[in-house]
């Protein structure tokens, strides 16, 4: 228990023996083999925003990327280029999959917090899933309905919770101290906060350990053995909190939909038990985490329809609203990072393409050894030799690479080179390391030809402003 418990007027004593016995559901996890039955057919490969024309120039929808490079004001720096139509298509895929169910699509704002992207998703019916008070305020600025938003996190602060309470946002309970603080926020704001219990289902998402969140040793969520205690406390503090649902989030970049099925089965088991204790559970929140085809090798990847089909029958007859929290699968393939080749060099056996983009603008390869596909945007010069290159930036770190061992035609200086699938966790994780100020963002409008700036570039003035008057 938190040592600060006695400072508050609320009573939060963990009972050694739970009132309820919730050991009945043991998550002895194993990915079920659905190879023989009940396997959703994976849908056909989806339409892509980025393609090549007959002359070998890369297009974003109908626009040549070399033309955008020539047009944008910040000619010497990298920039993000999005397809608004792709964003529309990605949301539509979820909306279509969810037809006939009661649902909330809660876009995980952490994946990309561009205000224009948020506004567009909100306009299509999306809700938002938030992990900080600032994200919550941004979501309000984008016009999201707070009562359909979810506030997640293992370290939510009291002032953030008070804001969430005032706005009547759904709040996930992550731990004993978190529940204590949520109750405190309810008391201070005079609101009864609608909460979901984030249960750690101990299901292995089979992803990079840094993006796995639903294993039993993860810092997120509560262990199911403690469920009884949480229900006791929620009952006791019913004037400040109202339990309306359960939540789990297994991790990110998940490539097998039966992993979601395994978790959802456990979760509806918990819902059935919790309902028997007299709680009116309305929401089953299965989190986000659907991966995308980063490799561009033609593999057919699970779609939103595949995901929803896998859990659909669990909703039948249960009168539940399904909440899903996609981030990557909504925004990743909507954008590329457009870079220019600064030069090519060889050291020993290694060839390097040095570009003007770096780990500061796009850190996933450095951080997770993540693969993101890289291509040149123009046809190679006549006679250009093919070779294997590491694609690296100018930052003073050997981990500053965007791609390793990539085979491609030797580019000329100034050539355009894109890093694909840069719409999720790229700009959102960009830093100003080496005083590389964060790049601007553009999108191609839904007419397929108009390019519009959707975020200004940061510049040195922004940095200097932090020292004004000091
Ligand atoms: C609680 C929660 N919900 C949703 C997401 C979004 O995940 P993804 O971008 O993989 O869909 C995350 C990030 O992993 C998360 O932590
Ligand atoms: N930042 C990670 C995903 C983290 C998901 C957040 N819970 C990535 O780039 O893949």
pLDDT of 46 reads 61
- Cα angle 249, 250, 252 (rounded to 5 degrees) comes to 100
Torsion of CA 230, 235, 239, 245, to 10 degrees: 60
- What average pLDDT does the structure give for the chain? 90
pLDDT in tens, 230-241: 999 999 999 999
For the segment 320-327, the average pLDDT, to the nearest whole number, is 98
Mean pLDDT of 138-143: 98
318, pLDDT greater than 70: yes
Look up residue 266 and give its two tokens.
């456990």
Maximum mean pLDDT: which of 179-188, 204-213, 214-223: 179-188
**Is residue 210 very low, low, confident or very high in pLDDT (cuts 50, 70, 90)?**
confident
Banded pLDDT at 206 (limits 50, 70, 90): confident
Q: How many other C-beta atoms can be found within 10 angstroms of the C-beta atom of residue 252?
A: 25
**Residue 396 annotated among the catalytic residues of the structure:** yes
Which ligand 1 atom is nearest residue 172's CA? Answer: 1
What Cα–Cα distance (Å) separates residue 279 from each residue in 25, 165, 221, 284?
Answer: 18, 20, 20, 14
Instruction: Identify the weakest region by mean pLDDT among 56-65, 249-258, 420-429.
Output: 249-258
Whether 29 shows a pLDDT value over 70: the answer reads no
Q: Which residues pair with 338 in a beta bridge?
A: 79, 418
Asked whether the predicted pLDDT for residue 34 surpasses 70, the reply is no
Q: Which pLDDT score is estimated for 212? A: 80
- Count of other CB atoms within 10 angstroms of residue 461: 8
Ligand nearest to the CA of 324: 1
Residue closest by Cα to atom 9 of ligand 1: 327
Query: 322: burial class by Cβ within 10 Å (0-12, 13-18, 19+)?
Result: buried
CA gap 107, 296 in Å, rounded: 24
Angle made by CA atoms 359, 365, 368, in degrees to the nearest 5: 120
Helices (H), 133-280: 133-141, 158-167, 176-189, 227-236, 257-276
Q: Are 145 and 104 contacting, i.e. CB atoms less than 8 angstroms apart? A: no
**Residue tagged 């469920």 (tokens):** 227
Backbone angles phi, psi at 249, to 5 degrees: -145, 120
Closest among 341, 416, 418 to 375, alpha carbons compared = 418
Indicate which residue's Cα is closest to atom 9 of ligand 2. Answer: 425
Nearest residue to 466 via CA among 429, 439, 426, 437: 437
Residue in 210, 251, 362, 431 to alter for ligand 2 test, most ligand atoms within 8 A of Cβ: 210
pLDDT at res. 247? 97
**Average pLDDT estimate for 108-131:** 98
Residue 297's pLDDT band (cuts 50, 70, 90): confident
- Greater pLDDT, 395 or 15: 395
Q: What is the DSSP letter of 46?
A: P
Residue 306 CB–ligand 1 contact under 6 Å: no
Cα of 252 vs centre of ligand 1, distance in Å, is: 6
pLDDT tops 90 at residue 75: no
204 neighbors 212 (Cβ within 8 angstroms):
yes
Catalytic residue among 60, 183, 248, 396: 396
The answer to whether residue 428 scores a pLDDT higher than 60 is: yes
User: Any idea what DSSP says for residue 17?
Assistant: S
Question: Tell me: the pLDDT tens digits for 152-196?
Answer: 999 999 999 999 999 999 999 999 999 999 999 999 999 999 999
Q: Would you say residue 145 has pLDDT above 80? A: yes
* Neighbouring residues of 403: CB distance < 8 A, sequence distance ≥ 6: 365, 371, 372, 374, 390, 391, 419
- How many Cα neighbours within 13 Å face the side chain of 213? 23
Query: What ipTM describes this predicted complex?
Result: 0.98
């Amino acid at each position: 228990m938190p040592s600060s418990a006695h400072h508050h007027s609320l009573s939060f004593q963990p009972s050694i023996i739970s009132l309820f016995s919730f050991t009945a559901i043991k998550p002895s996890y194993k990915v079920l083999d659905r190879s023989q039955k009940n396997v959703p057919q994976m849908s056909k490969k989806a339409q892509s925003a980025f393609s090549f024309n007959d002359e070998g120039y890369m297009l974003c929808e109908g626009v040549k990327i070399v033309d955008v490079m020539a047009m944008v004001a910040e000619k010497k720096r990298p920039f993000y280029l999005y397809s608004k139509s792709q964003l529309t298509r990605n949301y539509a895929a979820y909306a279509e999959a969810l037809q006939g169910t009661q649902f909330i699509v809660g876009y995980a704002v952490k994946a990309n917090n561009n205000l224009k992207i948020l506004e567009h998703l909100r306009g299509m019916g999306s809700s938002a899933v938030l992990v900080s008070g600032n994200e919550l305020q941004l979501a309000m600025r984008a016009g999201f309905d707070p009562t359909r938003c979810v506030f997640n996190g293992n370290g939510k602060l009291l002032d953030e919770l008070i804001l969430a309470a005032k706005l009547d946002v759904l709040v996930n309970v992550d731990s004993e101290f978190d529940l204590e603080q949520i109750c405190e926020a309810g008391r201070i704001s005079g609101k009864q906060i609608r909460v979901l219990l984030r249960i750690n289902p101990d299901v292995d998402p089979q992803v990079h350990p840094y993006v796995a969140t639903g294993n039993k040793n993860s810092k997120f969520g509560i262990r199911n053995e403690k469920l009884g205690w949480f229900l006791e406390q929620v009952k006791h503090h019913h004037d400040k909190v109202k339990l309306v649902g359960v939540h789990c989030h297994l991790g990110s970049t998940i490539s097998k939909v039966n992993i979601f099925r395994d978790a959802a089965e456990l979760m509806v088991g918990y819902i059935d038990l919790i309902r028997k204790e007299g709680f009116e559970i309305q929401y089953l929140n299965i989190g986000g985490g659907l991966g995308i085809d980063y490799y561009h090798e033609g593999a057919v990847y699970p779609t939103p329809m595949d995901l929803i089909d896998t859990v659909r029958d669990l909703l039948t007859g249960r009168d539940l609203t399904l909440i899903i929290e996609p981030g990557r699968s909504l925004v990743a393939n909507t954008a590329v990072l457009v870079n220019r080749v600064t030069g090519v060099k060889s050291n020993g056996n290694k060839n390097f393409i040095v570009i003007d983009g770096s780990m500061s603008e796009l850190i996933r390869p450095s951080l997770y050894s993540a693969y993101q596909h890289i291509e040149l945007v123009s046809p190679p010069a006549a006679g250009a030799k093919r070779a294997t290159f590491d694609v690296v930036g100018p930052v003073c770190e050997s981990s500053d690479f965007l791609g390793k061992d990539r085979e491609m035609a030797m580019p000329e200086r100034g050539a355009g080179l894109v890093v694909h699938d840069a719409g999720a966790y790229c700009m959102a994780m960009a830093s100003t390391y080496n005083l590389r100020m964060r790049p601007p963002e553009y999108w191609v409008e839904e007419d397929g030809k108009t390019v519009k700036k959707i975020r200004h570039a940061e510049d040195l003035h922004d940095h200097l402003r932090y020292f004004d008057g000091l």
